[in-house]
Amino acid sequence: CYVCGERGATITCRGKKCKRSFHFPCGRENGCISQFVGQYRSFCQQHRPAQTVQAHQDGQTSCVICLEHVEGKLSYQTMVCPNCRQAWFHRGCIQQQAFHAGLLCFRCPQCNDREKFLPEMSSLGIQVPARQPAWEAGAGFTDMYQRHSRCDASLCLYAHGREQAEEEGPWSLLLCSSCAAKGTHRCCSAMRDSTAMWECEDC
């Protein structure tokens, strides 16, 4: 490994005529780039790809993700959106966003561009996992997928209670056509079987 001098370096720089090899952790700490798309190429610090967009900062610029100060120019640690050229961010910050957003939702945090942003970040070694966004994983949104199933009329007349309803007829449940967050049995709100829409008092 050209960084630590130890054996077992399995990553070789793809720069022209470059024979440098390095361990992945050593390369990451030393500013090497490993791409996680296409041919999965890696580059040493000397031959790594760099951004070529013409972007200028007006005074002291902050990272749009962590709001901390960024360098006054493009570098390995400081990056900019190739589309809007105004969203500056630290490499570590945009990498964390990529991990959370996943392939489907990763885009510029300021201008929302994806067409230029994704290929540019991938070529600069930002790993974008091919999975759903972290905020949609687990049980965080389980309640949003549950259909409201309770009669919210001030006086529920159904003998089996507010939590029960029939498929058709006077005891079928209608949800508010605007918010869908409240419901009523047809009979509890004096509606005919032919009534197709109902709005709650809040809407």
Of the pLDDT bands very low, low, confident and very high (cuts 50, 70, 90), residue 195 is confident
Q: Which residues contact 46 (CB under 8 A, 6 or more apart)?
A: 13, 15, 18, 20
Compute the mean pLDDT over every residue in the chain, rounded to the nearest whole number.
Answer: 91
Q: Which CATH architecture has domain 50-145?
A: 2-Layer Sandwich (3.30)
pLDDT of 165: 92
Q: What is the pLDDT of residues 171-185, one digit of tens each?
A: 999 999 999 889 999
DSSP state of 15: S
pLDDT of 2: 95
Q: Which CATH architecture has domain 147-202?
A: 2-Layer Sandwich (3.30)
Query: CATH 3.30.40.10: which residues of the chain?
Result: 1-48, 147-202
Amino acid at 151: C
The dihedral sign for the CA sequence 159, 164, 167, 170 = positive
Look at phi and psi of residue 125 and say left if phi exceeds 0, alpha if psi is from -120 to 50, else beta.
left
Of the pLDDT bands very low, low, confident and very high (cuts 50, 70, 90), residue 147 is confident
Look at phi and psi of residue 76 and say left if phi exceeds 0, alpha if psi is from -120 to 50, else beta.
alpha
Least confident of 92-101, 119-128, 164-173: 164-173
Q: What is the DSSP string of 69-81?
A: B--SS--SSEEE-
Among the four given CATH numbers 3.40.640.10, 3.40.50.300, 3.40.50.80, 3.30.40.10, the one describing domain 1-48: 3.30.40.10
Q: Please compute the mean of the pLDDT values over residues 41-48 and round it to a whole number.
A: 95
Give yes or no for a contact between 126 and 103, defined as CB atoms under 8 angstroms apart.
no
Q: Please compute the mean of the pLDDT values over residues 98-109 and round it to a whole number.
A: 94
* Among 59, 60, 89, CA closest to 77: 89
H or E element: which one contains 95? helix 91-105
Tokens encoding 105: 């939702």
